[in-house]
Amino acid sequence: ALVVVCSPLPRLRGLLQRCWGRLERGLLPGFSGGQSPPWGPALAVQAPAFVPEPVSDTRERDEVPSLFESILWMAAPKKRRTIEVNRCRRRNPNKLIEVKRNIDVCPECGNLKQKHVLCGYCYAKVKAETRLIRMEIGKKERGPFNTPTVETVVLYDGEKPTEKDEGKRIIERARKRPSWFVQN
Amino acid sequence: MRLSVAAAISHGRVQRRLGLNPRSRLDLLRNLVTALVRHERIEAPWARADEMRGYAERLIEYAKLGDTDERAMRMANFWLTEKDLIHKLFKVLAPRFQPHPGSYTRLLQIPNRDSLDRAKMAVIELKGNPFPPLITPRRDTDKTLLNQLLKGYREDMQQGTPV
């Protein structure tokens, strides 16, 4: 069937004419003029569905036509974006950094902390003390996999185990009891 | 009209995906549970600590059944990779939590990790551990400014109205 494509671009029309010329020459050697010859099979053979183009085509294939014609199909900005438009896009509220309103002052040390998070300073303090207690525990256990089967209690300078601490392992710490570590 | 839905809807699934595969997720959680039973207070990424919390509490509930129970012993054997902790679990933690009906752990968020990933970290601890407490509950004393002002106002009202 004949397909007529009228396109405003001369280069596009030229490319399509070349393609059609190739098809004519490749598929139907007796078809030149525009009439449609009878399409019955001259010889029924097992053939691939498409007709491969002859490889010995002296026309340049990929470099010049595809670049020059394909440039027409690539997206490119039409106009320079003005600084006003750029500012609107860059300063749009969804691109700005959110302001955090959940910052408070820790009542113990006075440092800033987020409301739902522990204070960093107080946590570092507790972590350091825990590390020292764990070192004492390590010295008492003297080796890996020696966990005792009793509870543990931590006593500071000058403290005696009470009757609640019966049967518990005592860990001694050689310093005064800190104010934030209440006994029991 | 929205023709496609967002792909990241869990549709009721509650398990997080951690590690490389489900087996590695279980191994990760198992290591964390072992560390928690050993050290009674650990720091970990919040998602892992949150995921591990449920498993740790269920393990303690199994331990409360007693160490003669076959299922409890098999659970403890799987979840605690260091076998001396099985003794600690049944002899120390089970009696400690016998009076409590549930919630044996405390999960608190700490400031983000200092390294490049700034991960959301949490500290998870067993209640009743021997270490210093992380949060000290503040008692309302009479010495705060607000309470002093209210006290003064109450006194003024008592003296003011009879006069």
Q: What is the C-alpha separation between B161 and A9, in angstroms, rounded?
A: 98
Chain B residues 134-153 within an 8 A CB cutoff of chain A: 134-136, 138
Low-confidence ranges of chain A (pLDDT < 50): none
Number of domains in chain A: 1
Tell whether B88 is within 8 A of chain A (Cβ): yes
Nearest CB partner across the interface for B132, out of A129, A150, A153: A129
Give residue B15's pLDDT: 95
CATH number, span B17-131: 3.90.1030.10
Residues of A with CB under 8 A from a CB of B: 107-108, 114, 116-118, 120, 123, 126, 129-130, 133-134, 145-154, 171, 178, 180-182
pLDDT of B74 strictly over 80: yes
Q: What is the C-alpha separation between B36 and B34, in angstroms, rounded?
A: 5
Sign (positive or negative) of CA dihedral B52, B54, B55, B61:
positive
Report the SS3 class of residue A2. Answer: coil
Q: How confident is the model at residue B124 (pLDDT cuts 50, 70, 90)?
A: very high
User: Is A71 within a domain?
Assistant: no
pLDDT tens digit sequence for A58-110 = 655 555 556 666 667 899 999 999 999 999 999 999 999 999 999 999 998 99
Indicate yes or no: CB of A145 within 8 angstroms of CB of B91.
no
User: Is A119 within a domain?
Assistant: yes
User: Both tokens of residue A123?
Assistant: 């946590």
Q: Which of B56, B48, B8 is nearest to B24 (CA)?
A: B48
C-alpha distances in angstroms, A31 versus A27, A37, B48?
9, 7, 74
pLDDT tens digit sequence for B96-114 = 999 999 999 999 999 999 9
In 10 A of CB A65, how many CB atoms? 15
pLDDT tens digit sequence for B6-53 = 788 999 999 999 999 999 999 999 999 999 999 999 999 999 999 999
Give the ranges where chain B is alpha helix by DSSP (H): 22-39, 46-64, 70-79, 84-88, 94-96, 145-160
Kindly list the domain boundaries of chain B, sorted by start residue. Answer: 17-131
C-alpha distances in angstroms, A129 versus A80, A177, B121?
62, 11, 20
A104, containing H or E segment: strand A103-105
User: Is A147 within a domain?
Assistant: yes
Please count the CA atoms within 13 angstroms of the CA of B68 that sit on its side-chain side. Answer: 0
Domain extent for A164: 112-172
Q: What is the C-alpha separation between A31 and B102, in angstroms, rounded?
A: 90
Report the SS3 class of residue B128. Answer: coil
Of the two residues B115 and A45, the one the predictor is more confident about is B115
Give residue A21's pLDDT: 87
Instruction: Give the bridge partners for A152, in sequence order.
Output: A169
Is ipTM strictly over 0.90?
Answer: no
Give residue B75's pLDDT: 94
Give residue A50's pLDDT: 64
> Are B92 and A151 contacting, i.e. CB atoms less than 8 angstroms apart?
yes
Indicate yes or no: CB of A151 within 8 angstroms of CB of B96.
yes
User: Is A151 within a domain?
Assistant: yes
Q: What is the C-alpha separation between B30 and B27, in angstroms, rounded?
A: 5
